[in-house]
Amino acid sequence: MKSWCNKLFMVATLMSASLGRRCIVKNDQNKNENPSIDDHPSNELFNEQFRPQIHFTPSKNWMNDPNGMVYVDGTYHLFFQYNPEANVWGNMSWAITRDELGDVFSGSAVIDKYNTAGFGNDTMIAIFTSAGSAQQQSIAYSIDDGLTFTRYENNPIIKNDNDLQRDPKVFWHEESKQWIMCLAQGWKMGIEIWGSTDLKNWNKLSEFKHDLPDRPKIQWECPDLISFEYNGKKKWVLLVSVNPGGYIIGSGTMYFIGDFDGKRFTAEERNYPLWIDYGMDNYAGVTWGNTGDRRVFLGWMNNWEYADKVPNSPWRSAMTLPRELKLKELNGELILSSPVVKEIEGIAKKWNKFEGVNDSKFRIINGKTDKAYQVQLNIELNKDSIITLSNSKDEKLIIEIDAANRKLTTHRDDKTGQSEFSDKYVIKSIDAPLNTESSTLKLDIYVDQSSVEILSDDGRMSMTNLVFPFSIYDSLSVSGAKYTVKVRPIKSIYA
């Protein structure tokens, strides 16, 4: 059986993208599963209103969770939950299409360097949830760098009889000489940890649960267990996406810091939940596998509260900018920072510095030719400040800095752009800690056609929000404390 699916290759650098490459899917049957999608989309498809220019989007139709993220031979492979038939959720597939076991829900991919599964050295193996009458785990393998996949004949590899087991994230654990799989338990609010030496036969090793009194009934999804070297010691971070029960409403991604002994993850005593992003639109994010010491993260830039209503056509949804996760210390405790990857330098233009006094309004880009940009602002924290991004229609995003309480607030309503498509989209105040100990705040603000990503102090705080202005915000004003500012346009990845 064949079908076509969209795939992003980020070759050489994370920000060098080519779209619409065909991904051939096959198993032991010789018939089509799903219709072809556009293999070589025209340039017009990537110039629609609200189409992101530095964020990945499918050429058309619905997309949600990033899947199958693995690095090999200079290529960062990205698959995603995709509906080949419509611009709403449904008919889910990614590396392969649905079969008698059900839709193909989220999962991961690994490179089997030493042929533990018996499919050959360096085989790419996709691990995913087969979602039919129950959620069970299955695999498929590729011997041509992810272009074609063959379904394993003895699926499922983990049998199950309910809908509370999904989103397998797999990695090789060298210390215990086995593959480790994390599985989300959905409404049971926990993570299962499984082990295998061959990717086919699995043993359940443990479960992780943590009481969150302020969030008694939420859904745990998309886990990712990641190791870091910090001050000569290994620390582990467990990412868990939750919906509902995010930082504000709807979707969000929390994390736990602790230790993993090859069987069990134990979280440190902290005031959980800790959040990887304080905005409304960063969900289901996980990291690329096989990246050595780098931990490169990508999230779905949307929220289940209004995901099927955002005003995008013929596509719906985008991914966040790739971030490189790092452990940093704040007030004596470790937190997870997520600065944008250094590879963005490859598509960024020259910095332009702006000199002015408080309340000066700068036209910082040419909105007709500059499709996305980065603002870097250094502002003193001895008084409150207001940063305003705006356009010629007087649509604006206001960012408030509360110096005394070390807090940042934005407002998303009809003043920021289109908002009438969903009541849940309007959020009067989106607050976040600045997560800095300095007397001067460094802000990096990445603005695209329909999103604003705000990072403080090299990613110690991240806030990702969708916005839908008539045209990109092209002006900046600052009032309050002393500041310096520079701006650089960023080239479209579709150019």
Q: Alpha helices of 372-429 — where are they, by DSSP H?
A: none
CA distance linking residue 323 with residue 354, whole number of Å: 27
Q: Is the dihedral of CA 52, 53, 56, 60 positive or negative?
A: positive
Using DSSP, state whether 343 is helix, strand or coil. Answer: helix
> Of residues 28, 38, 39, 65, which has the active-site annotation?
65
Q: What is the DSSP letter of 321?
A: P
- Residue 410: its H or E element: strand 407-412
CB-based contacts of 288: which residues, under 8 Å, 6+ apart? 69, 70, 71, 76, 296, 298
CA distance linking residue 456 with residue 278, whole number of Å: 11
Residue pair 106/285 in contact (Cβ under 8 Å)? The answer is: no
CB count, 10 Å around CB of 350? 7
CB-based contacts of 207: which residues, under 8 Å, 6+ apart? 185, 190, 191, 192, 193
Residue 167's nearest CA partner among 180, 182, 146, 152 is 182
CB-based contacts of 487: which residues, under 8 Å, 6+ apart? 351, 352, 354, 364, 365, 373, 374, 375, 376, 476
Residue pair 255/196 in contact (Cβ under 8 Å)? The answer is: no
Is 308 an annotated catalytic residue? no
The most distant pair of C-alpha atoms in the chain lies apart, rounded to whole Å, by 69
Residue pair 309/322 in contact (Cβ under 8 Å)? The answer is: no
Residue pair 248/412 in contact (Cβ under 8 Å)? The answer is: no
CA distance linking residue 264 with residue 70, whole number of Å: 24
Q: Is the dihedral of CA 14, 15, 16, 19 positive or negative?
A: positive
CA distance linking residue 1 with residue 468, whole number of Å: 40
Q: How many angstroms separate the first and last alpha carbons of the chain? A: 34
CA distance linking residue 199 with residue 116, whole number of Å: 7
> With b meaning 16 or more CB within 10 Å and e meaning fewer, what string describes 96-127?
bbbbebbbbbbbbbbbbeeebbebeeebbbbb
Which residues are part of the catalytic machinery? 65
